[in-house]
């Protein structure tokens, strides 16, 4: 059975192709269109998935969209009606957006792909999140918790999943919290207040939180009171996201926390104002963690299952995930590599396969590498055209050469195999560097990634050695598989891991498994033999405002435009030195 899953029209659109219950391709539209967080209908992603699967659209058995458009429209319209007359401006804008395009998904899919309408299916948004989290996790049964900004009406759901070896799969969502009460919207409101772009700057809030103290925690708790049944609500007088499109916080919010940051002003942590913003970030982070832990503990008591699968955009919060693992009572926590909306494309296809068509469970490959493959020949051609020396070497020699470069302070662009699905570079589209000096972090932030200096970088370490350098709780290695948890760096190693140790002594660790990324794993070991520490700084291979690179030409372009020293694509290797000479000569001409 051939099923195409699609997510689109909000942020991070994507497509995923499932053949006989197993993914064969999945990619975010942004990786192909090169527009970060591209929300457009993912035609390029769909075309690529079908090409990868060797299929024509009419050979598909079903096309599944990741949410129910009319139910979502119901929520938008009802919310606007409830906010009358304050929703005047938002009403016109929302109607133009939704009636203009977003509710006609069935027609769009039918006309763009040429598939009959009867083959087009719709999951619920959080059902897709839950499926992406549960069906991809190596567990037979688990509790499920999904949380994001909003889907149709649901903003947070709890439930359970079962994948018996000899029977039909089950995925039940038991309860949900509904819009406008939303942990995702709470966090996004603070993201906007702190002057960061919503749906993109949430990482920055988490990074900034480490510099502050949660002195505003009591105020944040007033914004999100608990309900008698153990859930939560938002005190709506502090928010405006449900009434206007202009801003997400109200004047009362500003009375509580002070003036918002102008996005044009940099955050200076040496000033009182900069520290206030860090304190606000720390406070919302703390309250989010408290709420999630409390909800998860209740779920653990209720279902008495040892495993928890976490989905939705909130599951990208590595600090909260680590505390959930340590304090919720669950023994194992599974977060997929793409817990956000992009992963819903895969989740929607899995819902259709396992639940709608009732196909038996299949164990899925436990890796995120479902994107386009990188071609070594492309780099060789580009380098040749630009008069650069491109060495193609066998695996062992390549690893040795890269290790030498890393040890001498080089920043290496590392591309191999298929690209990752999801926001993390997990060793196939990575920028790698030595993790020892703080100067390396500053160089990467300022001269290569061109981003705020307070943002941390992640370490990658062989899974079997992770515990030596990082304080991982039981289940921490699994959480680190897709870089989903933030854990303390062991104090004795912090002086030698400065570039990847955040100000609070933590790091978002990637525990690299030899079966998932053998070559990257071998590189880490080789670096360990050379430097004494098998840890590398691993950050996504992109520049600020750009999506992670996908093809060799994009890696090459990023290499040429930044302060990187070495580019590795498959078994080919290019250094920068000579490139500058050619460029200067041409410019002079």
Subset of 181-200 contacting other proteins (CB under 8 A): 181
435 neighbors 500 (Cβ within 8 angstroms): yes
271 near other proteins (CB under 8 A): no
> Which letter does DSSP use for residue 489 in this model?
B
The minimum distance between CB 499 and other proteins, in angstroms, equals: 23
Residues 507-566 within binding reach of other proteins (CB under 8 A): 544-546, 551, 553-554, 557, 560-561
Among 1, 22, 81, 438, binds other proteins (CB under 8 A): 81
Among 13, 28, 157, 538, binds other proteins (CB under 8 A): 157
Per this entry, what is the length of the chain? 589
Among 37, 123, 210, 321, binds other proteins (CB under 8 A): 123
The minimum distance between CB 228 and other proteins, in angstroms, equals: 7
Among 254, 269, 355, 503, binds other proteins (CB under 8 A): 355
Q: Where are the beta strands (DSSP E) in 328-457?
A: 332-334, 369-373, 390-392, 412-415, 418-420, 429-433
The minimum distance between CB 257 and other proteins, in angstroms, equals: 19
Among 45, 132, 144, 171, binds other proteins (CB under 8 A): 171
Among candidate residues 313, 429, 355, 373, the one with its CA nearest the CA of residue 161: 355
422 preceded by a cis bond (ω within 30 of 0): no
> What residues are paired with 378 via a beta bridge?
none
The minimum distance between CB 225 and other proteins, in angstroms, equals: 9
Residues 361-420 within binding reach of other proteins (CB under 8 A): 382, 385-386
The two three-digit tokens of residue 274, written as one number: 């900069």
Among 69, 337, 456, 570, binds other proteins (CB under 8 A): 69
Q: Is the dihedral of CA 210, 216, 220, 221 positive or negative?
A: positive
Among candidate residues 319, 117, 69, the one with its CA nearest the CA of residue 214: 319
580 near other proteins (CB under 8 A): no
Among 54, 358, 495, 532, binds other proteins (CB under 8 A): 358
Nearer to other proteins, 42 or 485 (CB): 42
Residues 23-62 within binding reach of other proteins (CB under 8 A): 33-34
Among candidate residues 195, 177, 198, the one with its CA nearest the CA of residue 187: 198
- CA pair distance 540, 502, nearest whole angstrom: 17
Indicate the SS3 state at residue 53: helix
Query: What are the distances in angstroms from CA 84 to CA 235, 241, 331?
Result: 18, 14, 47
- CA pair distance 579, 384, nearest whole angstrom: 11
The minimum distance between CB 18 and other proteins, in angstroms, equals: 14
The minimum distance between CB 1 and other proteins, in angstroms, equals: 14
Among 1, 51, 167, 227, binds other proteins (CB under 8 A): 227
Nearer to other proteins, 90 or 509 (CB): 90
The strand pair at 412-415 and 566-569 is best described as parallel
Nearer to other proteins, 515 or 581 (CB): 581
Stretch that binds other proteins, among 90-98, 212-220, 461-469, 501-509 (CB under 8 A): 90-98
505 neighbors 445 (Cβ within 8 angstroms): no
336 near other proteins (CB under 8 A): no
Nearer to other proteins, 367 or 449 (CB): 449
Among 121, 303, 398, 483, binds other proteins (CB under 8 A): 121
Among candidate residues 208, 211, 213, the one with its CA nearest the CA of residue 187: 208
249 neighbors 239 (Cβ within 8 angstroms): yes
Nearer to other proteins, 19 or 70 (CB): 70
Residues 276-295 within binding reach of other proteins (CB under 8 A): none
88 near other proteins (CB under 8 A): yes
175 near other proteins (CB under 8 A): yes
Distance of CA 443 to the CA centre of its chain: 24
Nearer to other proteins, 395 or 583 (CB): 583
- CA pair distance 425, 28, nearest whole angstrom: 13
Nearer to other proteins, 89 or 213 (CB): 89
Element (H, E) at 182: none
140 neighbors 114 (Cβ within 8 angstroms): no
> Which letter does DSSP use for residue 276 in this model?
H
The two three-digit tokens of residue 153, written as one number: 């009406």
The minimum distance between CB 379 and other proteins, in angstroms, equals: 13
The minimum distance between CB 90 and other proteins, in angstroms, equals: 10
The minimum distance between CB 386 and other proteins, in angstroms, equals: 6
127 near other proteins (CB under 8 A): yes
The minimum distance between CB 356 and other proteins, in angstroms, equals: 5
- Residue listed under structure tokens 């990741």: 66
Q: Which residues contact 190 (CB under 8 A, 6 or more apart)?
A: 205, 280, 281, 284
Among 56, 59, 84, 251, binds other proteins (CB under 8 A): 84
270 near other proteins (CB under 8 A): no
Number of residues that bind other proteins (CB under 8 A): 71
The minimum distance between CB 340 and other proteins, in angstroms, equals: 20
Q: Is the dihedral of CA 210, 216, 218, 219 positive or negative?
A: negative
């Amino acid at each position: 059975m051939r099923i195409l899953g699609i997510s689109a029209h909000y942020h991070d659109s994507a497509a995923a192709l499932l053949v006989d219950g197993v993914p064969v391709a999945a990619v975010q539209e942004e990786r192909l269109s090169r527009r970060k967080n591209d929300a457009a209908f993912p035609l390029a992603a769909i075309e690529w998935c079908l090409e990868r699967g060797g299929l024509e659209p009419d050979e598909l058995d079903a096309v599944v969209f990741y949410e129910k458009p009319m139910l979502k429209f119901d929520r938008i319209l009802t919310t606007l009606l409830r906010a009358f007359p304050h929703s005047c401006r938002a009403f016109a804008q929302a109607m133009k957006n939704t009636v203009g395009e977003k509710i006609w998904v069935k027609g769009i899919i039918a006309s763009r792909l040429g598939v009959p309408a009867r083959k087009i299916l719709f999951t619920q948004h959080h059902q897709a999140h839950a499926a992406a989290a549960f069906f991809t996790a190596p567990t037979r049964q688990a509790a499920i918790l999904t949380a994001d900004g909003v889907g149709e009406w649901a903003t947070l759901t709890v439930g359970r999943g079962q994948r018996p070896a000899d029977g039909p799969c089950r995925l039940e969502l038991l309860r949900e919290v509904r819009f406008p009460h939303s942990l995702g919207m709470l966090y996004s409101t603070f993201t906007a207040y702190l002057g960061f772009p919503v749906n993109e700057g949430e990482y920055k809030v988490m990074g900034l939180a480490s510099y502050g103290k949660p002195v505003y925690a009591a105020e944040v708790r007033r914004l999100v009171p608990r309900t008698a049944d153990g859930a939560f609500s938002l005190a709506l007088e502090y928010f405006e996201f449900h009434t206007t499109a202009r801003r997400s916080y109200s004047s009362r919010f500003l009375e509580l926390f002070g003036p918002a940051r102008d996005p044009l002003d940099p955050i200076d942590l040496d000033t009182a104002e900069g520290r206030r913003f860090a304190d606000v970030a720390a406070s919302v982070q703390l309250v989010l963690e408290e709420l999630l832990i409390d909800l998860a503990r209740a779920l653990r008591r209720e279902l008495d299952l040892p495993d928890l699968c976490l989905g939705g955009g909130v599951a990208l919060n590595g600090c909260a995930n680590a505390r959930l693992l340590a304090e919720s009572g669950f023994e194992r926590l599974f977060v997929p590599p793409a817990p956000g909306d992009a992963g819903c494309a895969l989740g929607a296809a899995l819902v259709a396969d396992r639940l709608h068509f009732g196909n038996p469970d299949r164990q899925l490959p436990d890796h995120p590498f479902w994107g386009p493959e990188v071609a070594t020949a492309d780099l060789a051609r580009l380098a040749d055209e630009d008069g650069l020396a491109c060495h193609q070497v066998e695996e062992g020699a390549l690893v040795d050469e890269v290790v030498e470069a890393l040890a001498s302070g080089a920043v290496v662009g590392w591309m191999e195999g298929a690209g990752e699905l999801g926001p993390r570079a997990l060793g196939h589209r990575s920028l790698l560097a030595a993790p020892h000096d703080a100067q390396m972090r500053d160089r990467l932030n300022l001269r290569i990634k061109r981003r705020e200096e307070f943002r941390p970088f992640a370490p990658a370490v062989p899974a079997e050695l992770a515990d030596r350098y990082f304080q991982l709780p039981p289940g921490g290695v699994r959480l680190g598989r897709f870089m989903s948890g933030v854990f303390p760096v062991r104090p004795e190693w912090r002086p030698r891991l400065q570039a990847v140790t955040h100000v609070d002594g933590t790091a978002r660790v990637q525990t690299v498994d030899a079966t998932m990324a053998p070559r990257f794993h071998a590189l880490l070991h080789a670096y360990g033999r050379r430097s004494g520490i098998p840890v590398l700084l691993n950050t996504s291979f992109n520049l600020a405002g750009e999506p992670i690179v996908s093809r060799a030409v994009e890696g090459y372009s990023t290499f040429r435009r930044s302060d990187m020293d070495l580019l590795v694509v498959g078994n080919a290797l290019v250094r920068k030195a000579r490139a500058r000479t050619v460029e200067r000569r041409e410019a002079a001409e």
